[in-house]
Amino acid sequence: MKVSVIGAGYVGLVTAACLADMGNSVICLEVDEARLRILNHGGVPIHEPGLEALVRHNVAARRLVFTNDAPRAIAHGTIVFVAVGTPAAEDGSADLDHVLAAAATVGRHMDDYKVVVDKSTVPVGTADKVRAVITHELAARSTLVPFAVVANPEFLKEGAAIEDFMRPDRIIVGSDDERATLLMRALYAPFLRNRDRLLVMDMASAELTKYASNAMLATRISFMNEMAAVAERVGADIEQVRLGLGSDPRIGTHFLYAGCGWGGSCLPKDVKALRRTAADLGVDMPILAAVQAINERQRALLVERARARFGAGLRGARIALWGLAFKPGTDDLREAPSLEIIEELLQAGAQVAAYDPAVRADPARLLTRREGFSFADDPVAAAEGADALMIVTEWREFRSPDFDALRAALRHPVIFDGRNILDPGLMASLGFEYHGIGRGIGAVRADPASAWATSTMPLRPRVVAAAS
């Protein structure tokens, strides 16, 4: 099948590469010259495991082409995916400028039947707006060409996007056009050989499903963070609570991890957009308001605990920070908790040395423009001479590092574990002072039997971290 994809960002690039790998002929339209140059030189502009190899393989097989030639791209595909960004506007609503501009491009250049697929995350009613824009462009050309608009939201997890696309747990298709529905079924059939997971529904329901899914995931995390605050007060361990809770098949194990806040390109934006849509319709959403408020509190938690541990001020302190990306498996810094944590530390007068295995550069200069911040080449180098370590992203290599080297590198063996990836008892036995989230009242002190337990002095008089 011939497919066109508008936008070679995260969703568009994964969609184009995976469809091409199933034998489809795919042209990807990208107007950003820098991104297009990277793609046409065999690279990919984002970090996603397996994506670069997949793109190169299908480019070499001539099933995947990248271009900025809009007429060529639109003419190519019977199915045209719109996979452009929908950033949050100032009022929290989704900015549809790129989506509607893509729709206008389709309308200006189409000469035969097209199925225009909204792959971007868009609010309810966007399919109707896309249809209106295309109709307007066709009218301006005095052209009558049949077309259909379909809602087909993506459910890709950064760090596992190829697996998610190739083996989907569900494919949502919002369609009111029988021909378009049949074409979408044919396109996705190779991905559904074991079981038909394609759900056809009306377009409004398809559009709302995406927002509802992300809102539910955010709610689960914020709920666990709220429970973590209770766990600290009563001396319980939220990790043990998580295991007991997740063993209930009605609840399941996913997105039950307490931590220092959620971020990324989807959850924060989509929760805001859903609340904005609801408000415009006169619907109050107090649960989602609480979900956002809890997340903001969690983002401030590590710095608050560092202040409590070392005193009100952190001026002159050196903090090692492990993890910059909002989650492991990606280099995405959008809405990453690390950015707020670093900002708070720098404003307090601390210096920050950070390491992340995927974030080795800072093209947007979100961090390198800040005095007092530096990148480290490896985890131990970041910890060299630091007064404390903060773990912000749960990369696998942080779960079992060289603890002897880490302890020797730190000026004070204090760990603030924002993802609860380390065992408090083990840390104490190794001579570390451990502060987790929801893991009992205060900190887990170093084992008095450890030679390292009293080998260093704190920056200031010790204050036990209060539960939040």
Task: State the amino acid at position 393 in one-letter form.
Answer: T
Strand order in the sheet with 351-355: 373-375, 351-355, 318-322, 388-391, 414-417, 433-435
Question: Which residue's entry shows tokens 């002190």?
Answer: 445
Q: Which two tokens stand for residue 312?
A: 């009100």
Element (H, E) at 349: none
Active site residue 266: yes
Q: Which two tokens stand for residue 17?
A: 């590469």
Q: Which residues are registered as beta bridge partners of 174?
A: 151, 201
Task: State the amino acid at position 231 in one-letter form.
Answer: A
CB 39 within 8 A of CB 66: yes
How many other CB atoms sit within 10 Å of the CB of residue 381? 14
DSSP state of 237: B
**Maximum Cα–Cα distance for the chain, whole Å?**
85
Residue 203, Cβ density class (10 Å: 0-12 exposed, 13-18 middle, ≥19 buried):
buried
Catalytic pick among 18, 28, 260, 266? 266
Distance CA(158)–CA(138), nearest Å, equals 37
CB 198 within 8 A of CB 206: no
Task: State the amino acid at position 147 in one-letter form.
Answer: F
Q: What is the DSSP track for 39-68?
A: HHTT--SS--TTHHHHHHHHHHTTSEEEE-
How many other CB atoms sit within 10 Å of the CB of residue 48? 24
Q: Which amino acids are annotated catalytic?
A: 266
